[in-house]
Structure 1
Amino acid sequence: MPAYARSRAYARLVLRITDARTGRPVDAAPARRGLTRVQAHTQGFDRSNLRVLLVADLLVRALELGGTPVWALHTGARQQAELRAAGAALGVRPFEEGRDAGTGLGEAQVLHVVSEGGAAPDGVTVAVAPVHGDDPGPPDGADPTALRLALLTRPRNTPVHIGPDVLADAADTLGHWRRAVADWAQRPSRPVPDAVRADLRAAWEDDLDAPGVLTVLRAAETDPALADGARFETYAYADRLLGLDLTRGLGTPA
């Protein structure tokens, strides 16, 4: 049974995130349309800090998809330029310098994204587990987005090991999906089915469950009941959150 065929009576309309300080879920945007600050705190340039930046980017995307205005900041102790460059290669959008943010712009909610065990100022703390592996970036000549996908395949509170085999598998998946999306784009357009859209949103609104979003995409790819045009729109819609550039192959000869 496709993942999106399950009952979604429990789906939430507001993103909820676990506050690492209390272990309890909280509304990421308690005031509808109120400004939410997302602030990434890093301590250097390695894959664990890169994952912090990636989770912050994912959080910003999820909030914006829900209609919440977001102020995205980055505070780093050192090697910020190197980290931001690596983040940009992974599709992380630019963050403002957040060292002197202070009380900010009167935002309704403040979400601090930190490495697991890291300290943050007052506000909801979103903890990110470490990444084990070698250098911070992908091998020379490799698609950096493969590292983004590899990091998204595990819950953010679960440590992950990134090695050559993991990156190769992620690169193969990306290549396969991009070719499929380019092929589906040539078919008559169809809207994202309501059940599929509900399942995607239920995943990312439930503590930013990126692996759950990927599970929905895998189900949509193989479901014989879905038209190819609907598959295309589903992948394009989900990629607004995932940031994997899944439509890169559009217009490229097969």
Structure 2
Amino acid sequence: MPAQGRSPAYARPVLRILDARTGEPVPAAPARRGLTRIEAYASGLDPTALRVLLTADLLVRALELSGTPVWTILTAPHRQAELRAAATTLSIRPFEDGRDLASGLGEAQAIHVTPEGADVLGAGPVMLVAPVRWREGPADGPAPAGAPTSGGAEPPGGAGGTGPGVPDGTAPGASGAGTAPGRTPGPAAHPAFPVLLADPAALRLALCSVPRGEAVRLDSAVLGEAAARLARWRRAVAGWARQPSRPVPDEVRARLRAAWEDDLDLPGVLDVLRSVESAPDLPDGARFETYVYADRLLALDLARDLGSLA
């Protein structure tokens, strides 16, 4: 019960996640103050692994916004260097190098972010991430010239599309690509990897648009739609920034936090942004501050075009 004399809107927010071990929602922040470890599990260079890493990153950002200290590690049997490079491309916070680093820092709990069917070691809640399926077809491949993009980034590895972290001239999955001497190479990178990472912010937006428990179906058209929406929002944010600043309305802030604190409901967060974009009586300065505030979680670089010419 909120303290007497204080509005429930100012009660300390609690991020809750669905624990796959029990099927019940649990607080993501520990009951006693201490460090929370987020452990992401990835089995290879594929779209589902990217979604797992992104989910871990979003959880980290949400916990940090509530004042919870967090650190993250990556558990992957193969191609860790390439997965880390892909994570960097996607604006995912860096992973630490070992699980023992926090042993003396008072780690209070661990949360495991995994694809379906992964073996999880250790105690703590488990967040399951549904798979990503790339729809192959004649339309698949790099976006055509002139298609809307948010970053215009070249496919990782350069024009050859060798993928993130792969040495020059070494194709994904080839012997020696990201594999230490004497170790068995991991599975080859998914063939759509260069397309997926050509516009990282558009991929983030596309993945955030689907509930974590539902499979995502991606193709070039879906990524193009996400890139177009991102470009529109960035232009809008740049325009709103020219108006006097106004605070994020309390009701809007409450809706945003209610969404992301409800098992990381990112589609709900995006719905709030869409409603703010079109709300007739909201000052442009408040729209700007709302988008910048939400971007602390989404990391879509929504303010990238500030100062650009109209």
Judge same fold: TM > 0.5, yes or no: yes
1:97 CA drift (Å)? 2.2
Identity of aligned residues (%): 63
Look up the match of 2:126. 125
Q: Distance in 1 between matches of 2:83 and 2:26?
A: 29
From the superposition, tell whether residues 207 and 80 of structure 1 become closer, same or farther in structure 2 (CA, over 3 Å): same
Q: Which amino acid aligns with 1:171?
A: A
SS, match of residue 247 in structure 1: coil
Q: Distance in 2 between matches of 1:230 and 1:43?
A: 42
Q: Which amino acid aligns with 1:168?
A: G
From the superposition, tell whether residues 12 and 158 of structure 1 become closer, same or farther in structure 2 (CA, over 3 Å): farther
1:199 CA drift (Å)? 0.3
Higher share of residues assigned helix = 1
Q: Distance in 1 between matches of 2:104 and 2:213?
A: 28
Q: Pairwise mapping of residues 23-172 of structure 1 onto structure 2 (< 5 A)?
A: 23-31=23-31, 33-98=33-98, 105-121=105-121, 122-133=123-134, 135-137=191-193, 139=195, 142-172=198-228
Look up the match of 2:247. 191
Q: Provide the TM-score with structure 2 as the length reference.
A: 0.75
CA contact (8 A) 1:29 1:108 kept: no
Q: Distance in 1 between matches of 2:58 and 2:244?
A: 30
CA contact (8 A) 2:90 2:197 kept: no
1:175 equivalent in alignment to 2:231: yes
Alignment root-mean-square deviation, CA: 2.1
SS, match of residue 97 in structure 1: coil
Q: Distance in 2 between matches of 1:32 and 1:253?
A: 50
SS, match of residue 193 in structure 2: coil
Q: Distance in 1 between matches of 2:241 and 2:51?
A: 31
Partner residue of 1:227 out of 278, 283, 295 = 283
1:177-199 C-alpha deviation (Å, 9 max, x unpaired):
00000000110000000000000
1:220-242 C-alpha deviation (Å, 9 max, x unpaired):
00001210000000000000001
Look up the match of 1:215. 271
Q: Provide the TM-score with structure 1 as the length reference.
A: 0.91
CA contact (8 A) 1:57 1:93 kept: yes
1:200 equivalent in alignment to 2:200: no
Q: RCO higher in 1 or 2 (8 Å CA, sep ≥ 6)?
A: 1
CA contact (8 A) 1:32 1:68 kept: no
From the superposition, tell whether residues 251 and 152 of structure 1 become closer, same or farther in structure 2 (CA, over 3 Å): same
Q: Distance in 2 between matches of 1:118 and 1:29?
A: 23
1:248 CA drift (Å)? 0.5
Q: Distance in 2 between matches of 1:140 and 1:75?
A: 22
Q: Which amino acid aligns with 1:127?
A: L
Look up the match of 2:157. none
1:89 CA drift (Å)? 1.3
Q: Distance in 2 between matches of 1:241 and 1:63?
A: 10
Look up the match of 2:160. none
SS, match of residue 31 in structure 2: coil
Stretches of structure 1 lacking an aligned partner (at least 5 in a row): 1-7
From the superposition, tell whether residues 32 and 229 of structure 1 become closer, same or farther in structure 2 (CA, over 3 Å): farther
Q: Which has the larger radius of gyration?
A: 2
Look up the match of 2:168. none
From the superposition, tell whether residues 84 and 136 of structure 1 become closer, same or farther in structure 2 (CA, over 3 Å): farther
Higher mean C-alpha displacement, 39-48 vs 201-210: 39-48
CA contact (8 A) 1:138 1:144 kept: no
CA contact (8 A) 2:89 2:197 kept: no
1:34 CA drift (Å)? 2.3
1:190-214 C-alpha deviation (Å, 9 max, x unpaired):
0000000000000000000000000
1:100 CA drift (Å)? 5.4
Look up the match of 1:3. none
Q: Distance in 1 between matches of 2:102 and 2:241?
A: 46
Stretches of structure 2 lacking an aligned partner (at least 5 in a row): 1-7, 137-190
